[in-house]
Structure 1
Amino acid sequence: MATSLILGAAALGGSGLLTSRRARERERAAEAAYPPIGQLVPVGGGMVHAHVMGSGRDIVLLHGASGNIRDFTFGLAQTLAHQFRVILLDRPGLGWSSDMGPDDQAPAAQALHLMQAAEVLGVRRPLVLGHSYGGAIALAWALEARGALAPAAVVVLAGASMPWEGGLDRWYTLTGHPVISQLAVPAIAAFATPAQIEASITGIFAPDPVPPGYAAHFGAGLTLRRWSLMANARQVRGLKPHLRQMAGMYPGLRMPVEIVHGTSDGVVPADIHAIPLARLLPSARLTLLPDTGHMPHHTAPKPVMDAIRRAVAASDGAG
């Protein structure tokens, strides 16, 4: 996608002014169509976008790469809000949360940043659920938090949790490169077509179908803003060494942990992440979902809810 967009931008004349103006217009349109749905909590000179739903036990939801809290408000958050107080947080640089800058490459730094917002919101002994990249932040939260913000339980949903062999795909090579990104990122922001966006979402869900209405609800235009593209690429490119360090600390986690992962997840493969993670965590329960892709909270909601309920029950028993 990034390569085709760069070539397309060149075919349109390669004008930096044209590209910048078109990117700015599309960014403004996306922000008008998908405004904040919660509140902006001041943290560290910036803002964390937080949305609170329901009442009861606190559950914090952390979204994945290229995401925002609208991924959860498509269904999971509403279901949970019937029983729990659900706290949704846009991660730094994504959705409506301010960029942290280079510090956001460390999951621990992101977790501590988001914990400050959670503290303002009165979060206490939460269950912390992280999807995809958010799984790394949920685990970092568990490793770093003390006192009232220490999680009672953790749910890692299709989570990026372990270091992997090799590099990243071309998307992150181009959008995260210090030189190439200066052309790639504005071109993507300015010229990404609806068909390309749809194909990207389809690939994330594969082999499962994309639920009707998901793309319109999610607001991909927020992801395609230039600063969000660069923040996302920086975070993903910097993740692996931090996961390598975190993996050595996982055996020290003692709270209940539920790991839910699709066996057909081509984005974050279960055999690289979920299965080795389960071996390291003494209190983990692993649920593998046959023939399921990267978005089980949309495509297999019942086993996801079952895992959340088990985590809550286990934390109640431990407490």
Structure 2
Amino acid sequence: MDYYDHFRVLPDSKLDLDKFDPTCKDLHDDRAAAEEETLKLRDRIRELQYELYAERKRSVLICLQGRDAAGKDGTIRHVFRAMNPQGCAVFSFKVPSKEEAEHDFLWRHHKVTPGLGHIAVFNRSHYENVLIQRVHNMVPKDVWKKRFEQINDFERMLWNNGTHILKFYLHIDEEEQLERFKKRLDSPKKHWKISDADYSERPYWNEYTKAYEDALTKCSPEHAPWFTIPANRKWFRNYVVAKIMVAALESFDMSFPETSVNLPEIRNLYHEEKRKEDAS
């Protein structure tokens, strides 16, 4: 199956997240096979990242969004762990600092977008400004409504300057979220993840659903697509994201740059040094 097209959100489409199955058991129900394939896909991601880094013709920006406990950290840990940290950086966006709040809402994100040959992963992203700020009335409606087009302009500018953008919304249902909150309570190793916001945000579930539907459909052009990822089953979430990542990176048709040195001359130098070493 072409997961890239299957889970891609088409621009201005009618998206009903309440009807989107967060398990998708009909697509894949063999965990062992999927986990084995994910390991191979991770290896392929590592190879493709190496080509991207060597070629230095483009960059990649990955945005991860989702409700609390949707698995953003887990996706980074299980899918993107294979990448060389020399060419990949992860940025998490919390409450804006005083300096950040004094600039436009895209400022803190723009300054950490990836340079040529690099990949940046945004753990939460500039889309928070049309999600939490909308749901909690932090800015007037006429302000956040304008931000959809401002975000589109921002991403179009990045694209025109060589940045490919992939955006993943990790979709879980209310029952799965509550079960993951329970696991945080039951495991001392996960206590650090517990937040008052875990429960204070749950009454706004429907409001967030509408906000996500608008963000995903209003900001999913071909050059910066959103993908709605079924995330109730963590192993399937990882598998789908890895499949889409490989499909996107392979579509770049990358190639290693030609060497800038005289190879015959360098070979002669090597053999000369080798003869000296063997003779000593």
With structure 2 as the length reference, what TM-score do the two structures score?
A: 0.40
Rg larger for: 2
The structure with higher relative contact order (CA 8 Å, sep 6+) is: 2
